[in-house]
Amino acid sequence: MIFAARNAEQSHHIQLRLRDEFEKCLKNVFAASGSNCTANSLRMHWRAMKIEMITLRELRMRLKSPFETSFGVTQERRILLVELVAGGISGWGEVTAMENPFFNSETTDTAWHVISDFLAPQLIGRELASAVEVPARWAGVRGHEMAKAGVENALWDVEAQHRGLPLSTLLGGRREEITCGVSIGICETPQSLTRKVEKEVRSGYQRIKLKIKPGKDFAFVAEVRKEFPDILLSVDANSAYDLGDSAYLKTFDQFNLLMIEQPLQWDEIHAHAKLQRMISTAICLDECITNSRHANAAIELGACRIINIKLGRVGGHYSAQQVHDVCQEHAIPVWCGGMLESGIGRAHNIAMSTLPNFTLPGDVSASQRYWHEDIVEPEVEVTPNGTIRVPRDPGLGFTVKRAFVDRLTARSKNWKENQAVSISAPNNTVAFDR
Ligand code: OSB
Ligand code: MG
């Protein structure tokens, strides 16, 4: 096996993998010698994680207020959580699919189906040396990145605890705090939007992103820019325009935006390359990039100057690291996007944002912006300087409030080694938390 480190962070990761390979070799030597001390020796040296249990649950959580994007309004979230137990250690992941297939093609229900019928059965009872090995287990499953990420990321949490490391360190991150921005949903009027911007700027957020759509764009951005001439400001269209709007989109150049995020169709890299040649504002791709091959294609075509990495959209931490590395090699800065996550998704986002090429403020903001009460403690908090301190405890570094999670659970499904799947639906009524 050949490993090549492109940077210090990868070299750290490779060290961990080499240790695993060494332990595998030891295991084989013991097995071949038929030695009596095998079991004990293996317990000391062999650190594989056996996947003993997987629990999938759907939570109903109501956002404090509706969040509007060009593709629709969201208030009631149906969030899937994955708890995975390996080697007696429990880890958590969140599926970031929306309730409808309007952001990308996944939904809460497609993720439930794919995890239930394909992903969980492939993992249960298996021994893995590292979460790095998970994607290969599912090589035959096309797409469904958000479903995959929810499960894979839970194993990253387990692995970090297994090794006694904060998840950020296991991923190769070194930042002690990450910088935060906010995403502000589409508002009724430019004035009401400006008031929201003012509140977030006062809270210390380092970058403000405005959601836009045709008819709720130019005048809104103009008003905010007039009131706040110096802030880092960007816009996100969530695929609301097409190449025919190029001349119009060019008029946004006057606002000195940090970027315009995903202006064109969700799966259209080539058209973004044409648009990028026509406008001076940097294009940032979100929806278009679901793996490092897409990132590479987009960069080589000149379709963007910035990339937003979302753990769910790219299929989990392993793929996110690859996208990160491709961008870093090409000097394309990245930042961490958000999907209105609960505290578990947020905690994973914080860990990922510590990687070195996350040089722009992300959409990782305080729990309190979205939830009356989050499902982790402590809740995610933002300092007056617009930063989040990275936890130092092993794993995610946040505690899941189990009783609260149970209360929000609308249905669940459980896989145990050598046992039939068990399914439960605590009630038929849709219980939102507030
Ligand atoms: O495109 O970044 C996006 C929310 C839902 C779907 C897509 C997007 C968003 C956001 C919110 O912008 C980011 C957040 O979680 O704060
Ligand atoms: Mg976006």
For ligand 2, the distance from its centroid to the CA atom of residue 34, given in whole angstroms, is 56
Which atom of ligand 1 is nearest to 338's Cα? 15
Is 213 among the catalytic positions? no
pLDDT band at 39 (very low <50, low <70, confident <90, very high): very low
Average pLDDT, the chain: 91
Ligand 2 ion: Cβ-proximal residues, 5 Å cutoff: 236, 261, 286
Q: What is the pLDDT of residue 2?
A: 40
Is 238 a pocket residue for ligand 1 (Cβ < 6 Å)? Answer: yes
Which tens digit of pLDDT belongs to each residue from 61-107? 999 999 999 999 999 999 999 999 999 999 999 999 999 999 999 99
Higher pLDDT, 24 or 399: 399
Residue nearest atom 13 of ligand 1, based on CA coordinates: 338
- Quick one: average pLDDT of 114-137? 97
The one catalytic residue in 209, 213, 310, 413 is 310
Give 50-169+401-424's CATH code, choosing from 3.30.390.10, 3.30.1490.100, 3.30.70.100, 3.40.50.10420. 3.30.390.10
For 322-347, what is each residue's pLDDT tens digit? 999 999 999 999 999 999 999 999 99
pTM flag (> 0.85): yes
pLDDT digits (tens, 9 = 90+) for 391-433: 999 999 999 999 999 999 999 999 999 887 888 776 544 444 4
Residue 19, CA atoms < 13 Å, CB-side half-sphere: 13
Contact 345, 370 (CB under 8 A): no
Second-level CATH architecture of 173-399: Alpha-Beta Barrel (3.20)
* DSSP count for the chain of H helices, then E strands: 17, 17
Distance CA 151, CA 118 (A): 12
Residue 310 designated active-site: yes
Half-sphere exposure of 299 (CA within 13 A, CB side): 21
Percent of the chain with pLDDT over 90: 85
Whose tokens are 């816009």? That residue is 235
Ligand 1 nearest atom to the CA of residue 310, by list position: 2
For ligand 1, say whether the CB of 365 is within 6 Å of any of its atoms: yes
Q: Exposed/middle/buried for 280, CB within 10 Å: 0-12, 13-18, 19+?
A: exposed
- The ligand with the least distance to the CA atom of 102 is 1
Active-site residue (options: 148, 209, 211, 213)? 211
Q: pLDDT at residue 27 above 70?
A: no
Residue 30 confidence (pLDDT) above 70 = no
**Is there an atom of ligand 1 within 6 Å of 363 CB?**
yes
Question: Are residues 334 and 322 in contact, defined by beta-carbon separation less than 8 angstroms?
Answer: no
Q: Where are the domain boundaries for CATH 3.20.20.120 in the chain?
A: 173-399
Q: Is the CB of 183 under 6 A from ligand 1?
A: yes
- Give the 3-state secondary structure of residue 166: strand
- Coil vs helix vs strand at 41: helix
pLDDT of 13 reads 54
Length of the chain: 434
Report pLDDT for 152.
Answer: 98
Distance 236 CA to ligand 2 centre (A): 6
Q: Are 146 and 313 in contact (CB under 8 A)?
A: yes
The model's pLDDT over 206-237, given as tens digits with 9 standing for 90+, comes to 999 999 999 999 999 999 999 999 999 999 99
Query: How distant, in Å, are the alpha carbons of 93, 116, 155 from that of 402?
Result: 14, 22, 18
Answer yes or no: is the C-beta of 361 below 6 A from any ligand 1 atom.
no
- Return residue ranges of the chain for CATH 3.30.390.10: 50-169+401-424
Which residue CA neighbors atom 9 of ligand 1 most closely?
A: 339
- Residues 259-305 have pLDDT tens digits of 999 999 999 999 999 999 999 999 999 999 999 999 999 999 999 99
Distance from residue 285's CA to the centre of ligand 2 (Å): 8
